[in-house]
Structure 1
Amino acid sequence: MVKRGIALLILLVVAGILKAEVRSWVVSNPVVAGETFQFTVEAENAETGAQPNLSVLRGFEVVSRSVQNSTTIVNTQVTHAVRWIFTLVPHAAGEFTIPAIPVGSEQTQPFVLKVVSPGSQPSGAPSPVELETQLSRESVYPGEELRYTVRIIRSVEAENESLSPVEQFNAQVERSEPQTQIEMVAGRKAKVTTLHYLIYPQQSGTLKLPSLRYQGEVQVGRSRDPFQNLRMFNRNTKRIYRQTPERTVTVKSLPAGQSGWWLPARQVQLARVWKPNPPQFRVGEPTTVELVIHAEGVLPSQLPALELVVPAGIRAYPDTPTSMKTLVKSGFRSEWKQSWALIPVRAGRFVLPELRLRWWDTQHERFREAVLPEQVYEAIPSAASQAQATRMDLTSAPASRLPTPVASPFWKWLAFASFGLWGLTLGWWGWSKRRKESPEEPETEASTANLRKASRKLLSACKANDDTKTRSILLEWERLRHPQEYLQNLEDVVRLDPVLQKPVDELLQVRYGTSPQAWEGASLRSAIEQLAKVPNPTNVKPPKPMLEPLVPS
């Protein structure tokens, strides 16, 4: 009889343990969109390892979860309870059905949860954080600047804030620095942070701007005692979430008549900048010209590279192009520029032709052209050439004609006699000279030694990649090779020895370019060694005249 009683007691205990019950609830109903609330699921005597399946829950984001376990025994009734506490956030207002949540083989009862918009609570209190968005245009062309503005409005202090980025795979996105200031919003002071996203679509079609998600922590349950609010302990905060609506932008096809470089902008201007200004062109001396593009509503990567058409008689040495961008109130303002060192090789008139750049005016939706007009300049001879020309004019000027006195007959006869004797002497000298074999004129050893010495110095400078020393020695070396020529600069060197054209251009590019770059002297060294195999023009004897000179040297 006793054994039967014990067995019955054990059955009752086991039956109490196996009895399962699952339920769910929220702390408050309604809840506010974008603000967290707690959703609790509790299971008593559930199957071992059973977990709530929240995949059936739509319209809510699970922010965090925690688990609590408890076991109670009342009058031999053993209850093992597991409580799952989920922190959820709704992203939209409306009525939502919390469905039956499965927990093992059991499930909760569904119920309706109302979600209200921020600021529409029955208490009438303003939302602590609001988001506003604005688009500059609903439709744009590929590459056109689209301005997307986001404003974060806070009526309370917030901390630990973050905002998801604007990510696009078919558009380039640039974000400005956030600007925060105090503004009056709906009659209340609010802290407003403004961010500008500048978006440049890359292809035609539909551009979708995804929702931006904001999250932050605000203090709740603030005391009316201002001193208590300053204390750093016992702070009660809650995490809130906000989300902007998804936006759609139409990206139109390129307009009819588009060909070549596509440049959509609000404004485009071209400029020539001279250094010095106004330019002064002199043969052999550099003058710098800079071509500049100023454009609004585009990025530097959208600007084309301008080409300088170099007229005949001018050598151009380009510098590395540069670009930059500046954020202004209306968007980005970009600039592209490149400079060239222009060196005239001969005096005379030359023309820089007109330069045009076609672009699309995004404000008036029409093609326009930015124009640099044609410019005419005069290159004057070098100062040394002018001085040499002056000396030649002075030496070749005819002697002044002076009145010649009338000679007396005696002096006439004396002159005739003198000419006769001079003629006899000249004839005798010519006869004796033909009888002798005239020796060849020896090569000037001093000039040859100087040329060899200059060659060694020049090759050594090229091997050391010393552009400054090479320029100086190269001119000295060529003057020794061509003593009969007047060589003022390296342009004259190239004129006499065209094989040096390319290596000299490389040498001058390093000299006149503003961007630092190393010079390699291998190509110039090779050209010099090639010229060294050619006989020195200073050692080539002039052809022997057929007639002897009238006056012996």
Structure 2
Amino acid sequence: MVMRLFSLIFFIFFSSYATAAQVVATVDRTSIASGQSLILEVNAMGVTGELDLNGLDESFEILSQARSNSLQIVNGSMNRSIIWRLILMPKKAGQLMIPALRVERVQSQPIVINVREPVVDSKSSGKAEDLFIEVSLTPQSLYVQQQAVFTLRIYHAINLSEASLVMPSVEHAQFERLGEDQTYSEQRQGKTYRVIERRYGFSAQASGEMNIDPVVVQAQVPVTDAYGRQRLGSFGGLFNQTRPVRLESRSMTLKIKPRVDKMEGRWWLPARELKVEEIWPLHNQEVRVGDSITRTITLSAFGLSANQLPEIETAPNDGLQIYPDKAALNTALQGDLMLGKRVEKWALVASKPGTYTLPEINIPWWDTVNDQARIARLPPRTVVVFPALQQAESLPRAVGSPTSTTQEVPLNTTQENRQIWFWLACFAFVGWALSLGAIFWWWWRQARRDKSFLNKKEPVGLNTRLRDVERACLAGEPHAVKQALLQWASKQWPDQPPMSLLQIGQRLADDAVRHEMQALDAAQYAEPQGQAGSTNPNLVKLIQHALANEKKRQKAKAESLLPDL
């Protein structure tokens, strides 16, 4: 009797334990596409041990794992449970098995997961997926250093959040992002997708076979139920449930062709099209000494970036100063091709009249469409430079012109000529003495008037125009110096004022001043214009020294005209 009672109590206890102690594993989906994650929940009731995940990592990657405890009291009965929530990413396609998971001595049932192959193109897929990637390369046949456009498109029919992109790292090649992302809508198999398109410039630096690994995109997508409806989170859907996804594009294998040995020149320029164009601002217009001409040459190529285009070299030309500007580089997309442009400008200033020839420009390049060598040519240009207007007016008229006259001169005029030259010399001497006295008197009065300027450390005896030149030099403003010099020169030589800085240097006939005028003239066309520190603060002193030397030469010349006593 006692043994029966003991057996009955043991059976009731064991049955209740066996009913309470159980491990249940469930997933949100049993059929997914490659790159999509699934949620695995393991509910252990009546046991308090740890979850054994042995064998799960053979087919799945565990992205995250969380644990929570639950306690329920129903009709005085207390139930305890432990819930594990795991997010799994399949490692391969096919039928994968989630093994039986054990907690202490109790285990769950295995679950079969069907993982479909990754979608390369939804047009050829039997089912319209909610999320997939497409990649393309244009053109697919490349030479070494030739630029191609790598296009990445992400199609999604569901919302994405926290998306990130991992580009492949290719040895002896580089990707360069082009422009901003484009977003638009597209229909595929009756489903509307939002498309995110991004483009990269791709170039290989070595020939041979080259592999481009898949592009990887990771993001968070909403969690849906068996009917495709989004599961709402807490606070009425304010914090909706999401799960991670990881997509991979198809890989690519390229055969990069080497540089052609028969190509001449230093540059290797493989392109679909390359041309050189010139903008010449003068059409049937006269060019005179001191005028500035801006020559613009544009080099453009389909299939090359702007950084690959060579610098256009200019040969020196005697009498024609060439001041180059900084080249403007621009790389853009035109359709599915990369277009590189290089724009170069030069300022041309002639220092003397004459005919100048700018040489022909030849740029060899390789035509990737027809596989043959070509040369982009710019024909030579001839520039005829006339004298400055003041110089042209002062030139003697040609003999036989309508305004020229002829006059017969008697042969026996030697004595008369001597008397004329004697009186001319006397008048010149008196005029020179009066001029010298007037200059001394003017200098004496100017020195007394400008005593207040001595404390400012300004040179004594400078007239107003030279003071303007000195102030502009001290401020380091090349344009202001030029204007002040031209105004001063118009007062210094009112009959034939110089029209350029180079002409002022020629008038003063001093090597140091001539050098400063050339440097100042170059600063007018340099970039950035008006850069401080490009003027000589001692320029006025050099001009004064040149003027003093000129006066000495004139005095010596006047004395040489006096007849012998």
Relative to the length of structure 1, the TM-score reads: 0.72
Residue 546 of structure 1: CA displacement? 7.5
Partner in structure 2 of residue 70 of structure 1: 70
Residue 477 of structure 1: CA displacement? 5.4
For 2:83, the aligned partner's letter is R
Q: Separation in 1 of the partners of 2:515 and 2:47?
A: 89
Is residue 317–residue 508 contact of structure 1 (8 Å, CA) maintained in 2? no
Alignment of 1:433-448 (within 5 A): 441=433, 443=436, 445-446=438-439
Partner in structure 2 of residue 537 of structure 1: 550
Structure 1 window deviating more from structure 2 (20-29 vs 253-262): it is 20-29
Which one has a bigger Cα radius of gyration? 1
Partner in structure 2 of residue 171 of structure 1: 174
Partner in structure 2 of residue 461 of structure 1: 472
C-alpha deviations, 1:124-155, integer Å up to 9, x for none?
8632233333233455334322222333445x
Partner in structure 2 of residue 376 of structure 1: 382
1:133–1:479 distance in 2 versus 1, CA, 3 Å = closer
SS at match of 2:476: coil
Q: How many residues align?
A: 505
Is residue 28–residue 225 contact of structure 2 (8 Å, CA) maintained in 1? no
Query: Aligned-residue CA RMSD in angstroms?
Result: 5.1
Q: Does 1:256 align with 2:258?
A: no
Structure 1 window deviating more from structure 2 (384-393 vs 279-288): it is 384-393
Q: Does 1:489 align with 2:500?
A: yes
Q: Separation in 2 of the partners of 1:477 and 1:520?
A: 22
Partner in structure 2 of residue 208 of structure 1: 212
Structure 1 window deviating more from structure 2 (295-304 vs 90-99): it is 90-99
Q: Separation in 2 of the partners of 1:520 and 1:266?
A: 46
Partner in structure 1 of residue 362 of structure 2: 356
Specify every segment of 5 or more residues in structure 2 that has no aligned partner in the other structure, as ranges: 1-5, 230-235, 447-460
Structure 1 window deviating more from structure 2 (201-210 vs 315-324): it is 201-210
Partner in structure 1 of residue 457 of structure 2: none
Is residue 358–residue 369 contact of structure 1 (8 Å, CA) maintained in 2? yes
Alignment of 1:107-126 (within 5 A): 112-117=112-117, 126=128
Partner in structure 1 of residue 281 of structure 2: 275
Relative to the length of structure 2, the TM-score reads: 0.71
Structure 1 window deviating more from structure 2 (355-364 vs 450-459): it is 450-459
Q: Does 1:367 align with 2:373?
A: yes
Q: Separation in 2 of the partners of 1:67 and 1:343?
A: 82
Q: Separation in 1 of the partners of 2:527 and 2:349?
A: 15
1:238–1:543 distance in 2 versus 1, CA, 3 Å = closer
Q: Separation in 2 of the partners of 1:476 and 1:116?
A: 85
Is residue 211–residue 251 contact of structure 2 (8 Å, CA) maintained in 1? no
Is residue 149–residue 194 contact of structure 1 (8 Å, CA) maintained in 2? no
Is residue 280–residue 287 contact of structure 1 (8 Å, CA) maintained in 2? no
Q: Separation in 1 of the partners of 2:517 and 2:62?
A: 72
Partner in structure 2 of residue 345 of structure 1: 351
SS at match of 1:525: coil
SS at match of 1:471: helix
Partner in structure 1 of residue 247 of structure 2: 242
For 1:345, the aligned partner's letter is S
Residue 253 of structure 1: CA displacement? 3.8
Residue 42 of structure 1: CA displacement? 4.8
Residue 356 of structure 1: CA displacement? 1.6
Specify every segment of 5 or more residues in structure 1 that has no aligned partner in the other structure, as ranges: 226-231, 405-415
Alignment of 1:193-232 (within 5 A): 193=195, 195-201=197-203, 203-204=205-206, 206-213=210-217, 215=219, 217=221, 220=224
Partner in structure 1 of residue 339 of structure 2: 333
Match of 1:148 among 147, 150, 168: 150
Residue 26 of structure 1: CA displacement? 3.5
Q: Separation in 2 of the partners of 1:358 and 1:172?
A: 26
Structure 1 window deviating more from structure 2 (254-263 vs 105-114): it is 105-114
1:316–1:494 distance in 2 versus 1, CA, 3 Å = farther
Q: Does 1:472 align with 2:507?
A: no
Residue 340 of structure 1: CA displacement? 1.6
SS at match of 1:164: strand
1:215–1:91 distance in 2 versus 1, CA, 3 Å = farther
